């Protein structure tokens, strides 16, 4: 059995993610796999779909419909949080990439680069064949 406090916390979590009850489409289907007659005749599997994002969750972990409904909502919250975190990380990466591209090279770094280029060109110049004039 799921406590009222757990349900309240889940509803607050959904609200903080911006999920409205109208956005959720919940259907109940018959389960698959082992379980015999009970699983074949009861629709205790919950399919929960969040319409704005298109994320769909299927939960058949418990025999109880109420517990599966609760667990499906928890899974949906987890997926939405993962999606939000991935979006945030991608945005942060783009900002840091743009910052790195705009950064100017220091004079010391430029000097070292020129020295390395001259050194490499000297090595390659030494490999050239000797021309006799």
CA–CA separation, 82 and 98 (whole Å): 24
| Percent over 70 (pLDDT), the chain | 99
Q: Quick one: which H or E segment has residue 32?
A: none
CA–CA separation, 58 and 78 (whole Å): 13
DSSP bridge pairs for 62: none
Angle at alpha carbon of residue 98, lines to 94 and 102, rounded to 5°: 170
| CA separation, residue 66 to residues 28, 60, 69, 70 (Å) | 11, 11, 5, 6
Query: Exposed/middle/buried for 65, CB within 10 Å: 0-12, 13-18, 19+?
Result: middle
| Pair 58, 77: CB distance under 8 Å | no
Note if the pTM is more than 0.85.
no
pLDDT tens by residue, 18-44: 999 999 999 999 888 777 777 778 889
pLDDT tens by residue, 96-132: 999 999 999 999 999 999 999 999 999 999 898 887 7
Residue spans per domain, the chain: 4-100
Q: Which fold has domain 4-100?
A: Double Stranded RNA Binding Domain (3.30.160)
């Amino acid at each position: 059995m799921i406590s009222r406090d757990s349900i309240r916390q889940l509803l607050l979590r959904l609200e903080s993610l911006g999920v409205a009850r109208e956005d959720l489409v919940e259907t109940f289907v018959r389960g698959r796999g082992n379980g015999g007659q009970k699983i074949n005749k009861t629709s205790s599997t919950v399919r929960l779909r969040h319409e704005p994002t298109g994320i769909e969750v299927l939960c058949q972990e418990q025999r109880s419909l109420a517990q599966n409904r609760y667990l499906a909502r928890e899974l949906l919250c987890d997926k939405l949080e993962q999606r939000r975190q991935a979006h945030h990380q991608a945005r942060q990466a783009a900002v840091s990439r743009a910052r790195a591209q705009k950064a100017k090279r220091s004079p010391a770094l430029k000097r070292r680069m020129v020295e390395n280029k001259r050194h490499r060109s000297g090595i390659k110049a030494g490999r050239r064949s000797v021309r006799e004039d």
